Amino acid sequence: MTKFSASTSTRILVTGGAGYIGAIATYILLDAGYEVVVLDDLSTGHKDSVDSRAKFIQGSILDKEVIIKALAGCEGVLHFAGKSLVGESVLKPDLYVETNVEGSRNLLDSMLVLGVKKIVFSSSASTYGEPSSIPISENSETKPTNPYGLSKLAVDDLLAERSTLDGFAACSLRYFNVAGSLKTKNGWLSESHDPETHLIPNVLKASHANPLKIFGSDWPTADGTCIRDYVHVVDLVEAHILALKNLTTPGHVVINLGSGRGYSVNEVIDTASKVLGAEITVVMAERRAGDPAVLVASIAKAKEVLGWTPLRDLESMIQDTYQASL
């Protein structure tokens, strides 16, 4: 039995299990011996991504009736469902409050009805906003700069409150830049967003006709491009399983998930060029609104509390994503 195996046949609800990270989590949980129920409204997810061993329920976290149906017999929840585009959140802030915050509140209310008390939540580095120091620890100030980050922080606060009031055992995992893909028996599970805003898929898609836009080359960094902390989606999912196992007593814990090291946009492009064995066509563009210059996680707490260490490097994130795109 590996450290990720289920001890008995434990049933877990995965909200947003048809999305990029949720579908990979579903697959890994199933392989580890868990039973999985996926609840997803397919507003951005893909039904084809959900492994056939999971029970799939199409429905929204805004609908308590369907949540209660999905939760039957579950011992815990991995809560991925939500809106996740920074740009969209600026245009439609109410959508982010409704789906992310009210949806999470519905989920907790429904869990309480059935006595399901364990929840691992997809939070985000965007809760920190523009950091005052690097690396960012969980004690750093939270000052989101957009409605997406605000909605994630509101859920973190809600979990803290409800763990005290209602005895939930909750963990907020604050993701930095998630990348990479998983090869399954049925093919690759990978990122497929429309529109695609993330750097690695866009680097791999770049062509002479459609060059990669580098958003700013005058940032206060060594090469002038932004620095981010990329973490492989499989490492990230493994941290979720460890977090779930760690939920033994009521309370709320916040844990960063990154690799603990930063790469500039130019370094990502150079690594991709090495993987592809070809030059990437780029064009310089204006800075993108809302981008902080540098985001790098301290992952000391993940190591200490979860015993988690990310194992997969940037090259493998790019290699996997490339293979998945063929």
**Site for ligand UFG, rule CB under 6 A:** 84, 86, 124-126, 148, 177, 197-199, 202, 212-215, 226, 228, 265, 288, 291, 295
Q: For residue 107, what are the CA distances in angstroms to 42, 69, 199, 247, 319? A: 17, 12, 32, 17, 36
Residue number of the CB atom closest to ligand UFG: 226
CB of 3 to ligand UFG, least distance (A): 27
Q: Which of 293, 313, 318, 135 is nearest to 235 (CA)?
A: 313
CB of 269 to ligand UFG, least distance (A): 9
Residue 162 or 174 with smaller CB distance to ligand UFG:
174
Residue 189 or 206 with smaller CB distance to ligand UFG:
206
How far is it, in rounded angstroms, from Cα 27 to Cα 46?
14
Catalytic residue among 27, 34, 128, 148: 148
CB of 22 to ligand UFG, least distance (A): 14
CB of 190 to ligand UFG, least distance (A): 14
Q: Dihedral sign, CA of 279, 283, 288, 293?
A: positive
Q: Among this protein's residues, is 128 annotated catalytic?
A: no
12 three-class SS: strand
Residue 189 or 226 with smaller CB distance to ligand UFG:
226
Q: For residue 311, what are the CA distances in angstroms to 22, 96, 273? A: 20, 33, 22
How far is it, in rounded angstroms, from Cα 108 to Cα 124?
19
Q: CB 198: neighbour CB atoms within 10 A? A: 14
- Find out whether 36 and 28 touch, Cβ atoms under 8 Å: no
Torsion of CA 194, 39, 258, 133, to 10 degrees: 80
Count the alpha carbons within 13 Å of 195 in the hemisphere toward its beta carbon: 6
How far is it, in rounded angstroms, from Cα 98 to Cα 130?
25
Residue 76 or 129 with smaller CB distance to ligand UFG:
129
**Residue 268 Cα to chain centre, angstroms:** 20
CB of 134 to ligand UFG, least distance (A): 13
Residue 68 or 134 with smaller CB distance to ligand UFG:
134
CB of 84 to ligand UFG, least distance (A): 5
**Strands 55-58, 35-40: parallel, antiparallel or unpaired by DSSP?**
parallel
How far is it, in rounded angstroms, from Cα 320 to Cα 41?
27
**Residue 294 Cα to chain centre, angstroms:** 19
Residue 226 or 324 with smaller CB distance to ligand UFG:
226
Helix, strand, coil shares of the chain as percentages rounded to 5? 40, 20, 40
CB of 291 to ligand UFG, least distance (A): 5
30 three-class SS: helix
Residue 183 or 288 with smaller CB distance to ligand UFG:
288
Which residues are marked as active site?
A: 148
